[in-house]
Amino acid sequence: MGALRPEHVMRILEITDSLNISRESVTIPLVTEERGSITILPDERLRVICPRDVDFEAWMKELRGRLANVDLSRLGKH
């Protein structure tokens, strides 16, 4: 996948919503990277970059678990 489509972004936001993370605290670049990443930015926003060469559906199944390995306590909550 070279770039995310709006429906991909919405699916990612559904997961962050379910974790009570404010959408204002989430950044999802539309361009993918080779490996993708999940990081907390210096301005305390969550950045989720999708991997380029991984099936989106397979990656989505792992996203919640990957987010569990990130300290989300600094992020804005709903």
Residues 35-56 pLDDT 10s: 899 999 999 999 999 999 889 9
Q: Is residue 19 part of a domain?
A: yes
Domain count for the chain, please give it: 1
DSSP summary character for residue 46: E
Question: SS3 for 47?
Answer: strand
Residues 10-35 pLDDT 10s: 999 999 999 999 999 999 999 999 98
* Structure confidence at residue 72 (pLDDT): 87
Q: Which domain holds residue 25?
A: 6-68
- The label of the residue with tokens 């962050």 reads 16
* Structure confidence at residue 1 (pLDDT): 64
Q: Is residue 75 part of a domain?
A: no
Q: Is residue 78 part of a domain?
A: no
pLDDT band at 65 (very low <50, low <70, confident <90, very high): very high
